[in-house]
């Protein structure tokens, strides 16, 4: 089957990581899969031979968005795929419309967040709601029980298209030496280091982790990622006198994420809103003990199939994150228990299960 995945922007972030894994898994099952990005944001996919870009830079304003949408529709009409899988708000909307114009029968959307009620995102949620109700896309994938619950108040015509497929998470292919990993990323060797990964944004709330350094004088923090909050985080760290213990390593490609995680003693995740928390689960299965914000979805995702938590859950502010990290430092036995529980999540979030779920959605539609 010829499949095109539609993403909004090309960068090393969670949604892109998911489409990477879905594409790789479906190719291994014999399908022809390409991913098209509406625009290039970073160089994360420049060397990916299965990736295409509609625009080489972020579209400016409405004219740029229209160019991206028209370019995507033309791309899909030329590619003539058997199926289209879309991701993120703009990808879902423009990918679905473009797929319809190209005559594609199989259209699978992915929900990467709860519905919004205000502003531009609220408008996009309303458009998505309408598209789901009238059946412009065939199936709507959610990645956790919590995410599925966010649509309980939607019309039945929308909800009957929902299918739950938990994210699969890759397993580290080997063990990385901690000292070598720290050296590779320019991190100090003989310190207690908390690591975190993800876009540097207000929603990811890394400022709480930087603030925690005020309460933990012997702890360092390393952040992997880029984003609009980078300068704010640096300025905040300087104003609090902790800049020498904050290490920004930039965007880390998926092929090196487990190497980066190996540099840490623990993983800290202060995000304020998630539908799954892929980066956090990657850290857990790598064996890092986790401190995370007390979100319902994180409690769901970071609990093993036998009911054991793989994280310490705290308030996602500076004091909460500091308290969780301090507890780990004081109780090495707790760190070992969390590490063991995290490794057991490998079977729960199997890549094979995820890709089999997507492949089942794309089974041929019976002729009428």
- The Cα 279–Cα 269 span in angstroms is 9
Q: Inform me whether the pLDDT recorded for 100 exceeds 90.
A: yes
- Alpha carbon 339 to its chain centroid, in Å, reads 21
Q: Please indicate whether residue 171 or residue 259 has the higher confidence score (pLDDT).
A: 259
Q: Is pLDDT of 10 > 90? A: yes
Q: Is residue 233 part of a domain?
A: yes
- pLDDT score for 219: 98
Q: What is the pLDDT of residue 116?
A: 87
Q: Which residue has the tokens 């938990």?
A: 166
Residue with more model confidence, 368 or 141: 141
* 356 and 299 within one domain: no
Mean of the per-residue pLDDT values of the chain = 94
Q: 150 and 200, same structural domain?
A: no
Percent above pLDDT 70 for the chain: 99
The C-alpha angle with vertex 357 and arms to 352 and 360, in degrees rounded to 5, equals 120
Helix (H, G, I), strand (E, B) or coil at 260: helix
Task: Give a yes or no: residue 151 inside a domain.
Answer: yes
pLDDT of residue 365: 56
Between 32-36, 250-254, 340-344, the lowest mean confidence (pLDDT) is in 250-254
Residue 366 has pLDDT above 60, yes or no: no
Choose between 232 and 171: higher pLDDT. 232
Helix or strand (DSSP H, E) at 329? helix 318-330
The candidate with the shortest Cα–Cα distance to 263, out of 185, 341, 146, 315, is: 185
Is 243 within a domain? yes
Q: CA-CA distance, 105 to 95, in Å (whole number)?
A: 13
Tell me what percent of the residues of the chain surpass a pLDDT of 90.
89
Same domain as 262, residue 138:
no
- Within 10 angstroms of residue 69's Cβ, the number of other Cβ atoms is 19
- Has residue 367 been placed in a domain? no
Instruction: Give the model confidence (pLDDT) of 51-90 as tens digits.
Output: 999 999 999 888 999 999 999 999 999 999 999 999 999 9
pLDDT of residue 192: 98
**How many Å apart are CA 249 and CA 260, to the nearest integer?**
9
Residue 368: inside a domain: no
223 and 343 housed in the same domain: yes
The boundaries of the domain holding residue 336 are 178-348
Q: Same structural domain for residues 354 and 335?
A: no
CB within 8 A of 196, min separation 6: which ones? 206, 209, 221, 222, 223, 224, 267, 268, 269, 270, 279
CA dihedral of 261, 267, 268, 271, whole degrees rounded to 10:
60
Average pLDDT on 244-252 reads: 97
H or E element at residue 314: strand 311-314
pLDDT for the residue numbered 363 = 82
Tokens linked to 115: 């519905």
Q: What's the CATH number where 82 sits?
A: 3.40.50.2000
pLDDT digits 0-9 by tens, 264-317:
999 999 999 998 999 999 999 999 999 999 999 999 999 999 999 999 999 999
pLDDT at 174: 83
Same-domain status, 150 and 46: yes
Give a yes or no: residue 101 inside a domain.
Answer: yes
Number of domains in the chain: 2
Average pLDDT over residues 317-345: 97
Query: Is 325 among the domain residues?
Result: yes
pTM for the model: 0.88
Largest CA distance in the chain: 69
Q: What pLDDT band is residue 368 in, cutting at 50, 70 and 90?
A: very low
Q: What confidence score (pLDDT) does residue 112 get? A: 78
Reported as a single tens digit per residue, the pLDDT across 136-169 is: 999 999 999 999 999 999 999 999 999 999 999 9
- Look at residues 225, 220, 246, 227 and name the one whose alpha carbon lies nearest to residue 235: 246
| 173 in a structural domain | no
pLDDT in tens, 32-46: 999 999 999 999 899
Whether 343 and 355 share a structural domain: no
Verify that 198 and 341 share a domain, yes or no: yes
Q: Would you state the pLDDT for residue 106?
A: 93
Geometric angle at alpha carbon 292, from 307 and 89, rounded to 5°: 100
């Amino acid at each position: 089957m010829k499949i095109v995945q539609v993403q909004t922007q090309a960068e090393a972030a969670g949604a892109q990581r998911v489409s990477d894994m879905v594409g790789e898994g479906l190719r291994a099952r014999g399908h022809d899969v390409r991913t098209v990005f509406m625009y290039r944001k970073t160089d994360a996919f420049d060397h990916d031979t299965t990736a295409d870009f509609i625009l080489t830079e972020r579209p400016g304003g409405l004219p740029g968005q229209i160019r991206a949408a028209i370019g995507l529709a033309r791309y899909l009409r030329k590619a003539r795929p058997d199926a289209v899988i879309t991701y993120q708000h703009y990808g879902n909307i423009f990918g679905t419309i473009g797929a319809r114009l190209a005559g594609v029968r199989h259209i699978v959307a992915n929900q990467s967040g709860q519905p919004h009620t205000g502003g531009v995102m609220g408008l996009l949620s309303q458009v998505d709601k309408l598209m789901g109700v009238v059946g412009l896309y065939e199936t709507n994938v959610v990645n956790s029980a919590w995410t599925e619950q966010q649509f309980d108040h939607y019309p039945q015509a929308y909800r009957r298209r929902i299918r739950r497929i938990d994210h699969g998470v890759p397993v580290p292919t080997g063990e990385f030496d901690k000292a070598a990993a720290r050296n590779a990323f320019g991190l100090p060797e003989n310190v207690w280091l908390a690591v975190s990964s993800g876009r540097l944004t207000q929603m990811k709330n890394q400022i709480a982790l930087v603030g925690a350094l005020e309460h933990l004088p012997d702890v360092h923090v390393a952040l992997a990622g880029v984003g609009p909050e980078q300068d704010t985080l640096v300025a905040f760290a300087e104003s609090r006198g902790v800049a020498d213990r904050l290490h920004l390593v930039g965007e880390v490609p998926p092929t090196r994420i487990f190497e980066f995680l190996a540099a840490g003693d623990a993983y800290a995740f202060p995000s304020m809103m998630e539908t799954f928390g892929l980066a956090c689960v990657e850290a857990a299965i790598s064996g890092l003990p986790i401190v995370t914000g007390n979100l319902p979805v994180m409690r769901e995702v970071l609990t093993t199939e036998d009911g054991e938590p793989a994280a310490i859950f705290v308030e996602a502010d500076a004091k909460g994150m500091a308290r969780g990290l301090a507890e780990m430092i004081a109780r090495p036995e707790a760190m070992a228990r969390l590490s063991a529980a995290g490794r057991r999540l490998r079977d729960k979030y199997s890549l094979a299960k995820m890709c089999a779920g997507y492949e089942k959605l794309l089974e041929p539609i019976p002729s009428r």
